[in-house]
Structure 1
Amino acid sequence: MMNHPVVSIGIGSYNNARYLVTLLDSVRAQTYPAIELIVVDDCSTDNSAEVVENWTRQTGYPVIFVQHEKNQGVVRTFSECTQLATGQYVSLVGSDDVLDPDLIAQTVAEFDRRGPRCGAVYADCRLIDADGHEMAPSFLRYFNPAYADAPPEGNLIVPLLRGLYLPTLTTTVRREALEAVGPHDETLFSEDLDMWLRISRTFHFAYLPAVLGSYRVHDRSAIHTNKLALNETYFRIYRKGYFEGAEEWAAARHSLADHAEHYYASQGPEAPARLWFAFRETRLPKTALFWLMARLGVKYTALRRATGR
């Protein structure tokens, strides 16, 4: 009998009771035979915990289920999923997404084909709305038009800094890569970019050319989350200084300038200090302008009207 490596699927659950059964059924429907399912509920205020318990009882499918007594945030929740995982490969999924039946089987086959230097495999997925209707056939084309025809592989540091957005639900990581780069940084609002950058420094990413999941877009999904906190996350990542060589630093500074504009637009309380740091690092006229306007208390909308932007 073939010995299949275990794949751990960690679900970070928070107030998505409406979608949980669809996701759990999609895990149960995987064609791959060796799956460890982990659900960490981050103190949901709806009946998410009851949904998981009822589904487990009705299906008999084994689930490692953890409930937080108080809300700890998305990064801590997914970090706990990773810590609980025992599989050779780890996949982290939001509680509102859906997996196609062959996702794990095709991903493991791709890892086998690529060899041990492959630290992560990512595939495409479609976008669906709150009711499950398709909004766009390709996540990668929708969010990354510059890379749509040739999704990058190997070291992804520069593409990530230039705006490459990977679909987490169809991205699976080798355990050795997670162990090599260390745990999630729980001080950050969002964990994806920081983890992908660290993995890219030591391991390769592989692209699996298939649509293998559904990313749900609704009023509580990740693309509608706190944009100020997301920009603050990038400032913190930049200060870590992961970057090497002229191309990486140029991409990092360009991204810093973009995030500085978004930070100014979000009217964060630390805007003058953040924007001064961005100007010192980038030496770009626009970051100097954003810093000066923030110091003077000029709102971003007023600046845009005045400059015709």
Structure 2
Amino acid sequence: MTNFEKPLVTVILTAYNQEKYIEEALASVFYQTYRYIQLIVIDNASKDNTLGIIESFKSKSPAFQVIRNRHNIGLCRAFNQGLAIAQGQYVIDLSGDDIMIADRIEKQVEAFEHLPEDYAVVFTNARYIGKNGQRLHNHYEIDAKGRATSQVPSGDVYKNILERYFICTPTMMMRTSALQQLGGYDEALAFEDFDFWVRSSVRFKYFYLDEILTKKRVLKTSLSTGVYKKGSGMLQSYYAVCNKAYDLNRDQKEFDLLAARIRTFIRKCLYAQEFELAVRFRRLLNYIENPGLQTELIVLMCRLHLPVNFAYRFYIENLKKIAPQEGFAF
């Protein structure tokens, strides 16, 4: 592949109140070994000095675009702003506190260029880091050679998507044409990944590249920690995606997997005290199969409006201190 044949990659970096980390995130884009990059930075109305740091960085390295939102319009809508002007054949959705390893883009492009057109995503392993950059753990456990010790789904992963969380979102490189066919991210949702995985994997294939190429920062303010917060909107978004999956499913196995996933969301509704939403999840589950005694008991507890949120969040926070989990289990 000669220089003139190398495809452009668009990195859409969205930032909100990440003044401590944004410069390192920006630097990780500019220090890539791959040179054919379009960088679009979107400040989602940060209240700290995030935008000032972006502007300072741009004064030294002007070759990127900045979108300055006057109001926080949410992650999905902000990403779609970047997607609307993306010129790259491939797109990366990067947060303002995550870091790309220097050869990440080069290796993902190389993988994509050897895949058929029906592959829409190349994803990788990741290292989780704390607020000060300290190493926490890897998304997939690795052996002495740095390879995942367990088999990671690749190819047609739709059933795997329905079954469990296994992709570290910021590691993905996506085919731009596939994103455009899907209409970008759903702006009505509080987050993007589960919905994108469901809508894309039913139509396209995924490829797992077995290397650690991204450092994902874990903070108390991270979106993934909000599912148990009352009124966060996250469980409502999961409900919307489950309804989409119900319409997209192709066989009984997929309905069985969706039913099992819905049961986990009903439990989470109890813990988050999203009581009415639990009843709606139960109604959706009933279209697939009989909810059964255990689930009906949980729904009954929701109908009784038991105040369990504080106790459960206390339990979760202390459990994380003892045994940090790999990623966020939906």
Cα distance in 1 for partners of 2:203, 2:115 equals 15
2:240 to 236, 243, 247: 236
Higher helix residue share: 1
Is the contact between residue 43 and residue 68 of structure 2 (CA under 8 Å) also seen in structure 1? yes
Alignment of 1:37-56 (within 5 A): 37-56=39-58
Cα distance in 2 for partners of 1:214, 1:106 equals 16
Q: Tell me which amino acid in the other structure corresponds to 2:106.
A: A
Cα distance in 2 for partners of 1:148, 1:109 equals 23
- Cα deviation, residue 169, structure 1: 1.8
Is the contact between residue 124 and residue 213 of structure 1 (CA under 8 Å) also seen in structure 2? yes
Q: Tell me which amino acid in the other structure corresponds to 2:21.
A: Y
Partner of 2:206 in structure 1?
Answer: 205
1:302 and 1:51, CA in 2 relative to 1: closer, same or farther beyond 3 A?
closer
- Cα deviation, residue 218, structure 1: 1.3
- Cα deviation, residue 168, structure 1: 2.0
Partner of 2:34 in structure 1?
Answer: 32
Runs of 4+ displaced beyond 6 Å: 301-304
1:218 and 1:298, CA in 2 relative to 1: closer, same or farther beyond 3 A?
closer
Cα distance in 2 for partners of 1:71, 1:302 equals 28
Partner of 1:307 in structure 2?
Answer: none
Alignment of 1:6-21 (within 5 A): 6-21=8-23
Equivalent pairs counted in the alignment come to: 298
1:296 to 297, 300, 304: 304
Q: Tell me which amino acid in the other structure corresponds to 2:304.
A: L
Alignment of 1:1-309 (within 5 A): 2-3=3-4, 4-58=6-60, 60-136=61-137, 138-141=138-141, 149-227=150-228, 228-240=232-244, 241-268=247-274, 270-271=276-277, 273-281=279-287, 282-284=289-291, 285-300=293-308
Kindly provide the CA deviation profile for residues 25-79 of structure 1, in whole angstroms up to 9, marking residues without a partner as x.
Answer: 1100000110000111110100111110101112x24111001111111111122
Is the contact between residue 125 and residue 213 of structure 2 (CA under 8 Å) also seen in structure 1? yes
- Cα deviation, residue 204, structure 1: 0.8
SS in 1 for 2:155: coil
Q: Tell me which amino acid in the other structure corresponds to 1:296.
A: L
SS in 1 for 2:306: coil
Cα distance in 2 for partners of 1:68, 1:195 equals 24
Cα distance in 2 for partners of 1:154, 1:87 equals 23
Moved more, 286-295 or 31-40: 286-295
Q: Could you tell me the TM-score, scaled by structure 1's length?
A: 0.90
Moved more, 109-118 or 5-14: 109-118
Cα distance in 1 for partners of 2:240, 2:24 equals 36
- Cα deviation, residue 141, structure 1: 3.9
SS in 1 for 2:114: helix
Cα distance in 1 for partners of 2:14, 2:28 equals 15
Is the contact between residue 75 and residue 184 of structure 1 (CA under 8 Å) also seen in structure 2? yes
Q: Percent identity?
A: 26
SS in 1 for 2:12: strand
